[in-house]
Amino acid sequence: MRSYKIGVIKGDGIGPEIVDEAIKVLDAVSVAQGFNLKYDEFLLGGAAIDETGVPLPEETIQGVKKCDAVLFGAIGGPKWDNLERHLRPETGLLGLRKEMGTFANLRPAMVYDELVNASSLKPSVIQGVDIMVVRELTGGIYFGQPRELHEDKAFNTMVYTKEEVERIARVAFDIAMKRDKRVCSVDKANVLEVSQFWREIVEEIAKEYPEVELSHMYVDNAAMQLIRDPKQFDVILTGNIFGDILSDAASMLSGSIGLLPSASTGKGVGLYEPIHGSAPDIAGQGIANPLATISSASMMLRYALGEEEAADKIDNAIKKALAEGYRTGDLADYDAKEIVTCSEMGDIVADYASR
Ligand code: NAD
């Protein structure tokens, strides 16, 4: 029997509630599909601070590296907000991503038909949107040297090496092969040499994927096109700073933060997590929406374990739950037939996914 080891980091706030529901669904679908999942739990963020005094214990760093993939909830909360920066929960998460060498951030932005009214854009513009933003995560201007801050001037450096562009481009093309086979590479090649370089390398990598259609777009135009006609995009490939901005804009097309998953992948083990935070305002009430985390578990099956049928089952189960009118409180205003708790939503999706 196929068997996988999953690292589980529940984190803080609603983290434990939503991760428990994702595991419920993973258990149901793995039984149905005939593979085995073993879970190993690790501490991160506030929970780790409370237990060990640091936000990223060595045991977590070493432990996750031995897993096939890591499912993560969220970290942070007011309890730890006044700690020094190096001791804060967020520092633990950034440190973990660095340790795991995750250079690619995958952020799907899809709109469920049943929730077209939840978006701030017109239903005709967003119905059927299904975009994957592939953002380079460990290079570009956020990390480039030199960087200096003086009294009379300050500067950062946007730098990309050939290897960095090649590997992120391959991630985007590989994903496009599993989707609609279209990649739009977003840059600012009309102004920046580094973007011109990026574009040339992406063109080179595209030759390895003759079935994938490659286009290029300037980032200012891409921002506009995302709002004007988001359906034109399949995979958006872009650098760190442009991807940071565009993926946030794209994610809001769906209208609800509780629905969208993400993945950070790279050289080794990938981290799969919802895009939202630990929602301390609703933690412990059993009303959080677990769908973003369940959807992250589906991405984990698809991209880390190659269990595509199981991933499809989860995606379809989420759609069915929404089509049947089940909503957690955050989506109560959008065609709800029945308001359910976090745990009830997990039960419903697990049931559909196991069929
Ligand atoms: P947040 O995403 O936690 O919450 C924003 C709003 O969305 C809140 O009203 C919350 O109740 C709601 N919300 C979020 N997820 C939801 C869900 N699944 N179901 C229903 N409603 C949901 O952002 P924030 O309030 O800015 O941050 C809270 C804490 O989370 C902070 O400590 C922040 O640093 C941390 N954070 C962590 C991550 C992460 O772990 N990756 C990401 C962002 C923020």
Residue 254's pLDDT band, with cuts at 50, 70 and 90, is confident
- pLDDT over threshold 90, residue 267: no
Residue 94: what pLDDT? 86
74 Cβ below 6 A of ligand 1: yes
Best residue among 75, 278, 334 to mutate for probing ligand 1's pocket (most ligand atoms within 8 Å of CB) is 278
Q: Do domains 1-105+260-355 and 120-254 have the same CATH topology?
A: yes
Residue 206: what pLDDT? 98
How far from 278 is each of 10, 12, 97, 196, 258, CA to CA, in Å? 10, 6, 17, 39, 11
Active-site residue (options: 50, 113, 229, 248): 248
Q: pLDDT tens digit string along 79-91?
A: 999 999 889 999 9
- Ligand 1 atom closest to Cα of 80? 32
73 Cβ below 6 A of ligand 1: no
| Predicted model pTM | 0.92
Let me know if 10 is a catalytic residue: no
Q: By percentage, how much of the chain surpasses pLDDT 90?
A: 89
Residue 118: what pLDDT? 87
76 Cβ below 6 A of ligand 1: yes
Q: Is the peptide bond before 89 cis (omega within 30 degrees of 0)?
A: no
Let me know if 142 is a catalytic residue: yes
- pLDDT over threshold 90, residue 255: no
How far from 339 is each of 18, 21, 133, 316, 345, CA to CA, in Å? 17, 16, 31, 20, 9
Closest CA to 139 of 207, 217, 198: 198
Query: Contact 349/317 with Cβ under 8 angstroms?
Result: yes
The helix (run of H) or strand (run of E) holding residue 343 is helix 342-353
Mean pLDDT for all residues in the chain: 96
* Beta strand 271-274 pairing with 35-41: unpaired
Residue 52's pLDDT band, with cuts at 50, 70 and 90, is very high
Q: pLDDT tens digit string along 98-155?
A: 899 999 999 999 999 989 988 889 999 999 999 999 999 989 998 899 999 999 999 9
Which of these ranges, 151-165, 229-243, 247-261, 266-280, has the smallest mean pLDDT?
247-261
88 Cβ below 6 A of ligand 1: no
Structure tokens at 123: 């239903």
Q: pLDDT tens digit string along 182-217?
A: 999 999 999 999 999 999 999 999 999 999 999 999
Nearest-angstrom CA–CA distance, 292 and 313: 15
Angle, helices 308-323 vs 342-353, to 10°: value is: 130
Let me know if 187 is a catalytic residue: no
Q: pLDDT tens digit string along 295-326?
A: 999 999 999 999 999 999 999 999 999 999 99
Tell me how long the chain is: 355
Interval 316-344 mean pLDDT: 95
The helix (run of H) or strand (run of E) holding residue 199 is helix 193-206
Instruction: Say which DSSP state 248 is in.
Output: H
90 Cβ below 6 A of ligand 1: yes
Nearest-angstrom CA–CA distance, 169 and 238: 9
Query: Contact 293/130 with Cβ under 8 angstroms?
Result: no
Let me know if 351 is a catalytic residue: no
Residue 85: what pLDDT? 84
Q: Domain 120-254 maps to which CATH number in 3.30.750.24, 3.40.50.300, 3.40.718.10, 3.40.50.720? A: 3.40.718.10
Residue 321: what pLDDT? 98
Q: What are the residues facing 237 on neighbouring strands?
A: 134, 185
CATH class of 1-105+260-355: alpha beta
Residue matched to tokens 């200096």:
148
Residue 121: what pLDDT? 93
- pLDDT over threshold 90, residue 256: no
Active-site residue (options: 10, 24, 188, 313): 188
Closest CA to 74 of 248, 244, 257, 242: 257
What is the distance in A from the centroid of ligand 1 to the CA of 232? 30
In the chain, where the domains are located: 1-105+260-355, 120-254
* Neighbour order of strands in the sheet with 130-136: 35-41, 2-11, 69-74, 271-274, 261-265, 104-110, 130-136, 235-238, 182-187, 213-218
